[in-house]
Structure 1
Amino acid sequence: MKILKFGGSSIASAANINRVIDILKSTSENNQIAVVFSAINKTTDALINMASKAQKQDDTYNASLSELENNHFDIVRELIPVNNQSGVLSGVKKIFNQLENILEGVYLLQELSPKTNDTIVSYGEFLSTFIITKALQCNEIDAVYKNSGELIVTNSNYGNAVPIIDLTDKNIKEYFANNNHNITVLPGFIACNQQGEKTTLGRGGSDYTAAILAAALEVEQLEIWTDVSGMYTANPKLVKQAEPIKTLSYSEAMELSHFGASVLYPPTVQPVMNKNIPLYIKNTFHPEDAGSFITNENVKGGGIVKGISHIDNIALATVEGNGLIGIPGVSKRLFSALSEKKVNVILITQASSEHSICIAIDGNEVEKAELAIQDEFAYELSLGKIDPLHTQTNMAIVAIVGEEMKSHQGISGRMFSALGKDNVNIHAIAQGASERNISTVIDAKNVKKALNGLHAEFFEGHITKLNLFVVGVGNVGGKLLEQIEKQKAYLLDKLQLSIEVVGMANSKKMIFNEEGIDISADWKQNLIDNGEELNLDLFHEHVKEMNLSNSVFVDNTANATIAGLYADYLKESIGVVTCNKIAASSEYSVYAELKRLSQEYNAPYLFETNVGAGLPIINTLNNLVQSGDQIIKIQAVASGSLNFIFNSFVGDANFAEIVDQAGALGFTEPDPRIDLSGVDVARKILILARESGAKMNLEDIENKTFLPKASLEADSIEDFKKTLISEASHFEAIKEKAAANNAELKYVAEFVNGKANVSLQEVDSKHPFSNLQGSDNIVLFFTERYPEFPLIIKGAGAGADVTASGIFADIIRIGKG
């Protein structure tokens, strides 16, 4: 014999019920079965809501009752053949009339006792089983209905009654010994006390009903049918990569269900575990799926950690004070007081100093817990031996579960490391002696991030997923998206790195998609059509609210306002990657603060492209300094735009035309004054000086400009460009002088002996700066290890492709950790 149980979502519509009937037909071909049903989806919630409204004399409960009645009528009309409908509809109407009378009594008396509430909520299961039994019979299936309340006997703890096993087992065995029907339909959740009054087994109690039947009859297997394909490695609604667990032990299933895996009601496991009855969790909508198999046998394989689970709406309550130290019986008094108020303690931790006891409870029971502790410890509180109860709300418990955890070292370390990497603060930790569960209490806002981080650590083969929020998707940003899309498969295969763009913005619009924006398709049109108006503060709020693991803010702009937001992102443990030089070259205090925040919040702040576009200049400098080398001098041609301009400014070339050409190629900033004035180069040598350890500001850089006074005093870009024409003779003189000296013009930045300067210089053919092509950059590092012959980095230092590649390299660096 087999016992099957179907949840509310499995019978939410006539179509779903027909699927269930097909499963029952197939299962009962060679087996006698008993099948337990929950109420039709959301019915129990609706009944609870109606009862509450009736108690408050809110007569809108009548409208809710009519709506629920019509929903059931609609299912009957679609499910039952026309010639059989009238009898079924009248039976449903009779049940609703009984329910209406009870609700009316609650309304008139304004009283809703636990006993009455149990009676009201039991109608959901009576309705579903009545309808389904009739549907089976109309399909000429040998089915009979049996009221579970006549079999399962409990105490009188209404709302969460405890079965009296001896009486219950006797009733079940006697009934089924004389029952020869192929299928027996029973309502889940419902029981009766010894006086014959209705009780219920707690929310989710239909699973428990099925387990009680299975254990009493010692059946060959119990099947729990739901809307997912088993117990998952994590909540699939929160962790996209979660997968069904093929096999797990009863102990593992019990731990996971207790800590929030809602697919299985926790008390369900014990009855079948005691009788060694195999338990299957199957998917009504995909019956071909293997589902999860739960057994008493020694379960091996499937990973050290079997699953990650969590409980929402947790409050952390801490009792502490010197009066706890060395005093026997304090814990007993605490838990007895909580028990009397029916406050369930979910998790307990106590420091070895005995100075404090920390408990996790349901967030809805904080007030009851406070009153219980105040009453019990009133004397100690009055003497100051115990501090007033400290509570923290908006918490959640996240637990990892696995039978094999106890035989493997370092599991807790990996767990805490994964949480710490995402800056998820742990408020409390608990681990039982069995070592099959490690539980942590964290802020509720971090649950999704924590689950995804832990899932990546224990189930995804160490694949790291980065979630990018990209601002600036024009020239450089567009190339970056192209490169990411092109390299996605390679990065996943070779580096176990998955990169998703989950947010992006241009100067007008912004768009977000937690599952990832499709950058292989027409993302530009998607941004135009579906994006909302750009608001940088709102963009930041969206990023915070999404709260994704390994989030990185990517700034491809030269915008000062955006640069001013970096600190806000770093404080949220969101990494920052940028080609925007403004932040790193602003006041030293700002630069230092961003560096500090990066360390404090474990959030990378990378700006390799601030100097040399895609060249590994800053990274190389960091490696030298971190390995203990001392910087003696830095010399650089660090402006691709100026190098292009002066490489091209030979022979009959016109200076103004070359500047225009550099702008058209994307080598200069939109405002060419930034490049030609030397400010851009000054910012770059300032950044290199700071990365070398110098505490400098931009005004400390000596800027020996080559521009004439008229150009320096121009009020606008247009006026500036006009001066390049009107002052042509000035630029020609510079060119001719260099030619006469058989030298090349290079705009050089230098840092030596704590001082820095930028200037246009003539270099001869033997100098390393000679013969730089196009927009090439070059940097010479003279150090204690390279005192005479410098470490040289040379290559293209401007252009959208190389800049994008530098940004991409920083992103990959974050992913590689």
Structure 2
Amino acid sequence: MNVLKFGGTSVGSPKNINKVISILENYAEKDNVTCVVSAVGGITDKLLKAGALAQKKDASYKKSFKAIKKIHFDIVEELIPKKNKKIVSQIESKFEELRDLLDGIFLINELSPKTSDKLTSFGELISSYIIAETMESRGIDVKRKNSQELIITNDDFTKAEIDTKLTNKNIKSYFSDAKQSITILPGFVAKSVSGEQTTLGRGGSDFTAAIVAAALKVERLEIWTDVSGMFTTNPKLVKQALPIKKLSYQEAMELSHFGAKVLYPPTVQPALDVNIPIHIKNTLHPEHEGTIISNEVVSTKKSVKGISNINNIALLTLEGSGMVGIPGFSKRLFEILAQEKINVILITQASSEHSICFGIDDKDADIAKQAIDTAFENEISLHKIEPIQLEKELSIVALIGDHMKNHQGISGKMFSTLGKNNINIRAIAQGASEKNISAVIAQKDVKKALNTLHERFFEVKTKQVNVFITGVGNVGEKLIEQIQQQHSFLQKNLKLNVRIVGISNSRKMFFNSDGINLNNWTSQFHYADKSNIKGFFDKAVELNLRNSIFVDVTASEAVAAMYADYLKQNIAVVACNKIACSGTFENYKKLQELSLKYNAPFLYETNVGAGLPVINTLNNLVASGDKVTSIQAVLSGSLNFIFNNYSDRKNFHDTVKQAQYEGYTEPDPRIDLSGVDVARKILILARENKTNIDLEDIDNVSFLTEKNLNSTSIDHFYDTLIEDEAHFQKLYASAKANNCQLKYVAEYNNGKAKVGLREIPEGHPFYNLKGKDNIIMFYTERYPDLPLIVRGAGAGADVTASGLFADIIRIGNN
């Protein structure tokens, strides 16, 4: 004998019902089959909705009734095209009963548990009849048996308890005489000893199948559903979720209790009692392996078998000094909940006995709070305890596995993984058996939590990094190009999956939580929404993706002002924009503190040397205990390019234009030529060396004329360069006469800094600095005479993008 159960999706359409029939026929070729079926997908909810409308005196329940009836007759019409008066008459009769019941609920304005059981029974009774009649019309040896004649329960309506002895007797008696190859049974439904219709609770069709399988002691129970077994976590929220090949009964019960909808929790117990394996299979893909649940000891390298969750949790906390050392508080508390028929899902109590925390279904929260506050009214008035504290919109996330107790550090890995992604844990529960470690978190963080934990415990150590980029000019485009080019390399060698999920500029922005297709991102950008700095931030927060990084490739003060907001949301910040780090010292310190507080890296290597490891080198010197006494540097690739290309044969205006055209200067070249950009860079290095200094404290000796400095626009600035060509020729001539090179130099010495144009003599490390190169010399206590030198290209879209990319990778590897 084979016992198979098919869920609502499996019998939710004529196409799927035909697949069910095909599966049953294949099984029946080898042995007799008992098939338990659920209601047509979604019908139980529709019946309850219709009942609720009728109870509220809302006449639209009649529309709901008609919709339910139409669904079933549409299925019959497709499955049995030739009109069969007997079938139509029988179904019409059942729907007459259903309509009378709904009319009665409407008239008396009441929907009792007893009536609710009658109402919801229609789904399985009708679906089982349709399937049996369809098979019979095709000449298949089939018979339908009403489970209400076999399964006997008490009168606990909506979730009745079975009379095992009487039920087993009925099942054995019926099947000992049954001659048909296939027996169809409606799931979920039963009758009480007194003859009243009862149900076995939502998901009770699984339970029906398990009861029958246990009574007949079959070799295996098969639960057919719309997924290929039980998964490592919810595949709807985690795309990388994997089907689990084998589970123990205990693991399956833990997973099903904690939200794995594939299996109804009580199903496991009857099978466990008589040691019957349960096989979860996929109706839509019967060839898939599925999941086998048994008492077999499965040796596995993975300590965690699955990650599950329950949503819509409320957390209540009873606390007060009057509880300490006083017996009976817990007893009274849980008796109150029991009287209100409120199920407790999670309990945790501090060893100080100062507080008891417990989780319940959100819908019961207000009733629980009122009942507890009333019961403890006297203690509250005497300030022995506080009024019950209530938090809603929470979820429980649980790690599950039989072998977790044999592996040290599982809970530590769980909590640190959640913490790194700014997922706050409100309560923790872990039994001594260590088969389940549960944490209560905000419901809005569930998707991020499941993805983060699944990545940590199940995936091949590949870490997903989600990048939001603002600013897609020359540097931004190069960064996107580099990320696309290196994607496979990073996955294979660094185990990093770097995805760009948001892109914006000053005009447009667009997002894709699954990762933007970088092959055609420019065409997608063409049709993007209007850009908004705050809107871009809000969307990044709303997506709530793990390992998120915001990359600022602008020179915008407004964008830089948002860094604190990103860090507070545990979104790392990578910036080539110098404004934030060269603004007020208070803001600079605030950002460093927020980065530490919210475990959100704040990296800005490109602020000083584009792709050169300048800040990183300085930080390593300081962290290792060295003391930086002096810094001498050429920090402007644009100015170095300009003075390396300027001569008495080329005017200054054209040289600056060339630098701007080749992407070495800021869009406004006055920022570079005024020395402000270099001043910001030496300021940042001074601050990284733990010096409290502001931009106004830096001595900036400008080589520009008053006319240049007072220009009113970029075009006007270029006009003044032409007018003052003689001034620049004079600077060049002086350097040439002294056999020197003109270099714009930044200096830091004993807490003071200055920038300005200098004539560099032959033999100096700066003398032969070519093109757009930068050079930084660190004099320290360990390098007092010969400095530590960092040298290389200090400007250009490619190298700046590579510096940003390096910061992204550094965060990903953290």
Fold-level match, TM-score > 0.5? yes
Q: Where does structure 2 lack aligned partners over 5 or more consecutive residues?
A: none
- 2:799 is equivalent to residue 767 of structure 1: no
CA RMSD of aligned residues (A): 1.0
The CA deviation at 1:375 is 3.6
Moved more, 701-710 or 121-130: 121-130
Identity over aligned residues, as a percent? 56
Q: Which amino acid aligns with 2:108?
A: L
1:603-682 paired onto structure 2 within 5 Å:
603-682=600-679
Q: Secondary structure at the match of 2:411?
A: helix
Q: 1:143 is aligned with what amino acid?
A: V
Question: Could you list the per-position Cα deviations for residues 128-149 of structure 1 after superposition, in whole angstroms to 9, with x for gaps in the alignment?
Answer: 1111111111222111111111
Counterpart CA distance in 2 for 1:157 and 1:745 is 93
- Is residue 215–residue 275 contact of structure 1 (8 Å, CA) maintained in 2? yes
Residues 751-793 of structure 1: CA distance to partner in whole angstroms, max 9, x if unpaired?
A: 1111111100010121111111110011001111111111100
Output the amino acid matched with 1:705: S
Q: Offset at 1:651?
A: 3.8
The residue that corresponds to 2:703 in the other structure is 706
How far apart in 2 are the matches of 1:194 and 1:335? 31
Instruction: Find the counterpart in structure 1 of residue 810 from structure 2.
Output: 813
The Cα of 1:506 is off from its aligned counterpart by 2.3
Aligned equivalents of 1:54, 1:599: Cα separation in 2: 57
User: Counterpart amino acid of 1:650?
Assistant: S
Q: Matched residues in 1 for 2:512 and 2:142: separation?
A: 49
Is 1:752 the counterpart of 2:744 in the alignment? no
C-alpha distance in structure 2 between counterparts of 1:76 and 1:764, whole Å = 96
Distance 2:472 2:121 in 1: 58
Q: How far is 1:170 from its partner?
A: 1.2
Tell me the residue number matched to 2:39: 39
**Residues 550-582 of structure 1: CA distance to partner in whole angstroms, max 9, x if unpaired?**
011111111111111111110000001111111
Say which SS state the counterpart of residue 762 (structure 1) adopts: strand
Give the conservation status (yes or no) of the 8 Å contact 1:77–1:85: no
Q: What's the secondary structure of 2:201's corresponding residue?
A: coil
Partner Cα distance (2:534, 2:301) in 1? 44
State the shift of 1:441 in Å. Answer: 0.5
Alignment of 1:211-250 (within 5 A): 211-250=210-249
| 1:16 alignment partner in structure 2 | 16
Given that residues 348 and 359 in structure 1 are in contact (C-alpha distance below 8 angstroms), is that contact kept between their aligned partners in structure 2?
yes
Instruction: Give the AA of the match of 2:695.
Output: L
Is residue 109 from structure 1 mapped to residue 129 from structure 2 by the alignment? no
* Structure 2 residue identity aligned to 1:28: A
Q: Determine the structure 2 residue equivalent to 1:442.
A: 441
* Separation in 2, partners of 1:157, 1:629: 76
CA distance in 1, matches of 2:447, 2:435: 22
Q: CA deviation at 1:56?
A: 0.5
Report Cα offsets for 1:13-55 as digits up to 9, x if no partner: 1111111111111122112111111111111111111000000
Which residue number in structure 2 is paired with residue 524 of structure 1?
Answer: 522
**Cα distance in 2 for residues equivalent to 1:502 and 1:188:** 45
What is the alpha-carbon distance in structure 1 between the residues aligned to residue 601 and residue 186 of structure 2? Answer: 56
Instruction: Determine if contact 1:76/1:85 at 8 Å carries over to the other structure.
Output: no
- Greater alpha carbon shift after TM alignment, 160-169 vs 369-378: 369-378
Q: CA deviation at 1:204?
A: 1.0
The equivalent of 2:417 in structure 1 is: 418
When structure 1 is superposed on structure 2, of 367-376 and 325-334 the one drifting more is: 367-376
Q: CA offset at residue 85 of structure 1?
A: 4.1
User: Structure 2 counterpart of 1:523, which letter?
Assistant: W
Separation in 2, partners of 1:492, 1:604: 21
Tell me how far apart the structure 2 counterparts of residues 84 and 272 of structure 1 sit (CA, whole Å): 41
Count of aligned pairs: 814
SS at match of 1:9: coil
Structure 2 residue identity aligned to 1:477: G
Could you tell me how far 1:377 is from its partner in structure 2? Answer: 2.2
How far apart, in 1, do the equivalents of 2:302 and 2:688 lie? Answer: 44
Please report how far the alpha carbon of residue 387 of structure 1 lies from its aligned counterpart in structure 2 after TM superposition.
1.1
Q: Which residue of 1 aligns with 2:250?
A: 251
Amino acid at match of 2:273: N
User: Which among 794, 797, 811 is matched to residue 794 of structure 2?
Assistant: 797
TM-score (norm 1): 0.99
Asked if the contact 1:247/1:302 (under 8 Å) is kept, the reply is: no
Does 1:294 find its partner at 2:284?
Answer: no
Structure 1: which amino acid aligns with 2:565?
A: D
Mapping 1:100-179, distance limit 5 Å: 100-179=99-178
Matched with 1:551 is: 548
Secondary structure of the residue aligned to 2:35 is: strand
Equivalent residue, structure 1, for 2:733: 736
Residue 302 (structure 1) shift: 5.8
CA distance in 2, matches of 1:135, 1:469: 55
2:403 alignment partner, SS class: helix
Q: Deviations over 1:379-428 (max 9, x none)?
A: 32232212100011111100000111011111111111111111111111
Contact between 1:685 and 1:750, CA under 8 Å: does it hold in 2? yes
Amino acid at match of 1:632: T
**2:82 aligned counterpart, secondary structure:** helix
**Are the aligned partners of 1:245 and 1:302 in contact in 2 as well (CA < 8 Å)?**
no
Task: Name the aligned partner's letter for residue 383 of structure 1.
Answer: L
Shift of 1:91: 2.3
Spell out, residue by residue over 1:497-531, the C-alpha distance to the aligned partner (whole angstroms, 9 max, x if none): 11111111122211111111111x211001112x2
- Contact 2:503/2:510 (8 A) holds in 1: yes
Structure 1 residue 535, shift from structure 2 partner: 1.5
Distance 2:467 2:90 in 1: 58
TM-score by length of 2: 0.99
Question: What letter is aligned with 1:579?
Answer: C
Deviation of 1:161 after TM superposition, in Å, equals: 1.2
Distance 1:372 1:152 in 2: 36
Query: One-letter code of the match for 2:680?
Result: R
- Number of the residue aligned with 2:720: 723
Q: Is the 8 A contact 1:343 1:368 kept in 2?
A: no
Letter of the aligned partner of 2:543 in structure 1? Answer: M
Displaced runs of 4 or more, over 6 A: none
1:623 and 1:86 map into 2 onto residues whose CA distance is 87
SS of residue in 2 equivalent to 1:231: coil
Alpha-carbon deviation of 1:461? Answer: 2.4
Conserved 8 A contact 2:648-2:729? no
Deviation of the 1:86 alpha carbon: 4.0
Structure 1, 23-32 or 741-750: larger mean CA deviation: 23-32
The one-letter code matched in structure 1 to 2:20 is: V
CA distance in structure 2 between the partners assigned to 1:687 and 1:266 by the alignment: 60
What is the CA–CA distance in structure 1 between the aligned matches of 2:85 and 2:762, rounded to whole Å?
Answer: 103
AA aligned to 2:215 is A
Alpha-carbon distance change, 376 to 166 in structure 1, aligned in 2, over 3 angstroms: farther
Q: 2:70: which partner in 1?
A: 70
